[in-house]
């Protein structure tokens, strides 16, 4: 069975790069060596591998990568630190227009 990886790199400018691969060691080496000049990480080297998660199915890995790419910095840092329980509060909407935060008292 092939294994797929979703990974997060911390770049030299402090930003995060999220990717998916079927060979984590090879892909990390490509980022480190700057194999692709058009890659986001090329001008942000050195990079550090700060997170990875294994998947048995490529579609699951791609879906998780897309999800993580849409997350805030704080949510990414929560999983980097292994704080999976901390994701829920970071996903809560505190905007006054959100239905949970509206005054439901009909006067």
Q: What integer is the mean pLDDT of 39-62?
A: 98
Question: 51 and 23 in one domain?
Answer: yes
The predicted model scores a pTM of 0.84
CA angle 80, 84, 86 (to 5 degrees): 100
Same domain, 21 and 35: yes
pLDDT digits (tens, 9 = 90+) for 67-92: 999 999 999 999 999 998 887 777 77
> Which segments within 15-62 are labelled E, that is strand?
16-21, 48-55
Total count of domains within the chain: 2
37: preceding bond cis by omega (within 30 degrees)? no
81 in the same domain as 66: no
Beta-carbon count within 10 A of 90 CB = 15
Host domain of residue 94:
73-107
**Cα three-residue angle 31-9-70, rounded to 5 degrees:** 120
């Amino acid at each position: 069975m092939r294994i797929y990886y979703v990974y997060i790199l911390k770049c030299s400018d402090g930003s995060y790069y999220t990717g998916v691969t079927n060979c984590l060691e090879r892909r990390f080496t490509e980022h480190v060596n700057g194999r692709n000049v058009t890659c986001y990480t090329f001008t942000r080297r050195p990079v550090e591998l700060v997170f990875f998660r294994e998947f048995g199915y490529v579609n699951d890995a791609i879906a998780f990568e897309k999800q993580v790419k849409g997350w805030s910095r704080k949510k990414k840092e929560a999983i980097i630190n292994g704080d999976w329980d901390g994701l829920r509060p970071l996903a809560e909407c505190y905007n006054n227009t959100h239905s949970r935060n509206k005054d439901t008292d009909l006067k």
